[in-house]
Amino acid sequence: RKEVEQDPGPFNVPEGATVAFNCTYSNSASQSFFWYRQDCRKEPKLLMSVYSSGNEDGRFTAQLNRASQYISLLIRDSKLSDSATYLCVVPAQGGKLIFGQGTELSVKP
């Protein structure tokens, strides 16, 4: 089992849609998690941190299920500008970040 696994995508959704991405992780000792967003040919940028059961920031909601070792990211009322690759990231010892393969989202008019 990979350390971090994500839905491969791509997800093609219309503007205004609600879309959810899933991520599973293998290390049950992991305490915190991140969602990064990466636009084409740009650097990853932190979208949300998740330390407890979940986190909400405007249209974005991240949920954590420790028992199932599962993290999700929900985007409501999708905008064209939400088109990007979303990376599920699990910190590991020594400052390493374990990245999922990323889920590509394309929001269409």
Partner 1 sequence: DTEVTQTPKHLVMGMTNKKSLKCEQHMGHRAMYWYKQKAKKPPELMFVYSYEKLSINESVPSRFSPECPNSSLLNLHLHALQPEDSALYLCASSRENGYYQETQYFGPGTRLLVL
Question: Residues interacting with partner 1, by CB under 8 A?
Answer: 30-32, 34, 41-46, 49, 51, 87, 91-97, 99-102
Q: Which is nearer to partner 1, 101 or 106 (CB)?
A: 101
Residue 16 Cβ vs partner 1, minimum distance, rounded to whole Å: 28
**Which residues have CB under 8 Å from 12's CB, separation 6+?**
106, 108
- For residues 11 and 19, is the Cβ–Cβ distance under 8 A? yes
Rounded Cα distance, 80 and 33, in Å: 26
Rounded Cα distance, 26 and 13, in Å: 29
Residue 21 Cβ vs partner 1, minimum distance, rounded to whole Å: 14
Q: Which is nearer to partner 1, 17 or 98 (CB)?
A: 98
Residue 6 Cβ vs partner 1, minimum distance, rounded to whole Å: 9
Q: Which is nearer to partner 1, 47 or 107 (CB)?
A: 47
Give the torsion sign (CA, 34, 40, 43, 46). Answer: negative
